[in-house]
Amino acid sequence: PNRVLLGCFVLHYAHRALIFPLLIRAGKPTPFFTFVLALLFCVFNGYLQGRSLTTYAAYPPGWLGDSCFIIGFLGWLIGMAINIHSDHILRNLRKPGETGYKIPRGGMFEYVSGANFFGEILEWFGFALACCTIESLAFALCSLFILGSRARQHHK
C-alpha cells in the first residue's frame, strides 16, 4: 500500500512538473514571491508525505482491498482525471492571438466554475482517505483552503 500511495503522489507531481509545463502556452508571469511560497510548500509537503509513507504509515494486510483505500483511490483517480481534463479545456479556450476573458465550457465546468480546482481538491481528499494518515489529511485541508480561495477569486 505504501508504494501504491507514494506512486499516486509522485504521478500527480510528475504530471504537474514535467508534462503540464510542456503543454501550456505563454500566459501571465507568476510573481516571484508566489513562486517561492509554492516551491516551499511543495518541498515541505513532499517531504512530509514521502516520510510518512516510507517510514511511519503501517497498513494492515489486505489494505488495498479495504473500502477506505478503494473509495479513496477512486476519488484520487477521478479527481486527477477532472484536473487534467479541466486544464485541457482551459488551455484551449482562446485561439492563437486572442486575448480577453472567456468562460470555460464542457466537462465539470458545466457544474462548477473552478473545475480544475475542484478536481485537485477531490484528488487530495481521495488520497487522504486512501492513506488514512494525519499528514495526508493536512495536505487535503491545505489544498482545500488554498485552491478553494483561488476558485472563489476566479468565480468572482
CB atoms within 10 A of CB 146: 16
Look at residues 155, 83, 152, 66 and name the one whose alpha carbon lies nearest to residue 124: 83
Look at residues 116, 91, 88 and name the one whose alpha carbon lies nearest to residue 102: 91
Instruction: Give, for all 156 residues of the chain, the pLDDT tens digit.
Output: 999 999 999 999 999 888 988 887 766 778 899 889 989 999 999 999 999 999 999 999 999 999 999 999 999 999 999 999 999 999 888 887 777 778 899 999 999 999 999 999 999 999 999 999 999 999 999 999 999 999 999 888
At residue 97, the pLDDT reads: 75
At residue 27, the pLDDT reads: 66
At residue 20, the pLDDT reads: 86
DSSP per-residue letters across 61-84:
TTGGGSHHHHHHHHHHHHHHHHHH
At residue 7, the pLDDT reads: 97
Look at the pTM and tell me if it is higher than 0.75: yes
Look at residues 123, 85, 119, 121 and name the one whose alpha carbon lies nearest to residue 104: 85
**Rounded to 5 degrees, what are φ and ψ at 76?**
-60, -50
Q: In which residue are the cell numbers 481521495 written?
A: 126
Instruction: Give residue limits of the domains in the chain.
Output: 1-155
Burial 85-105 (b: 16+ CB within 10 A, else e): bbbebbeeeeeeeeeeeeebe
At residue 130, the pLDDT reads: 98
At residue 26, the pLDDT reads: 66
